[in-house]
Amino acid sequence: MTTLRLGDTAPDFTQDSNEGPIAFHAWAGDSWVVLFSHPADFTPVCTTELGRTAALSGEFARRGVKPIAVSVDPVDKHREWIGDINDTQDTTVDFPILADVDRKVAGLYDLIHPNASTTATVRSVFIIDPKKVIRTTITYPASTGRNFDEILRVIDSLQLTDSHKVATPVNWRDGDDVVILPSLQDPAEIAQRFPKGYKAVRPYLRITPQPNK
């Protein structure tokens, strides 16, 4: 069993999908990727999740993110299901759904949790950066639909904190104040990086407007 941790390289694979064979790393290119798994096709929660992902296609594109889903069902079943998703969720699925019939991807990404189910994949999310590094993992039970607004929020935080020496506080959303990293202590660099100034609640807790806004 593979246990993937933050900072690990996302495993590469080639697998069939509703859009044809996917060589994962080549398909990802220099984009961010959200890889997320589904217990089965033609299930109610999954249908709403894939519909929401399709509805958010513009939001993902604006952030340079490619979504890709995975289920252990075959391609022909995926294609039939997509018709239901588009019809019931009033959208158009425009991203690949991997047909992981041989459970290759499920094995690489530890998506089968036997104490939950020996056949269905759990609802896992992997946020992967352009260097193919796993930056976030979230796992939900089969009965609980994911919050895609939270997934976008995490991507916003990762992209911001990669380019600025800040961290994002509790319940942060894009445009809110952020905190200056405690490791940044040089006054001149702080003034250069944060010309709007900051409020020092404590020496280690310095709040500043989001620097790229």
Q: What residues are annotated to the active site?
A: 46
Tokens matching residue 145: 């639909």
- Cα gap 123→120, rounded to integer Å: 9
**Separate counts of helices (H) and strands (E) for the chain:** 7, 11
* Single-letter residue type at 72: V
Residue by residue, DSSP assigns 2-26 as ----TTSBPPP-EE-BTTS-EEHHH
Angle at 30 between CA 26 and CA 33, to 5 degrees: 80
* Single-letter residue type at 191: A
Residue by residue, DSSP assigns 15-74 as E-BTTS-EEHHHHHTTSEEEEEE-S-SS-HHHHHHHHHHHHTHHHHHHTTEEEEEEESS-
Angle at 188 between CA 186 and CA 189, to 5 degrees: 65
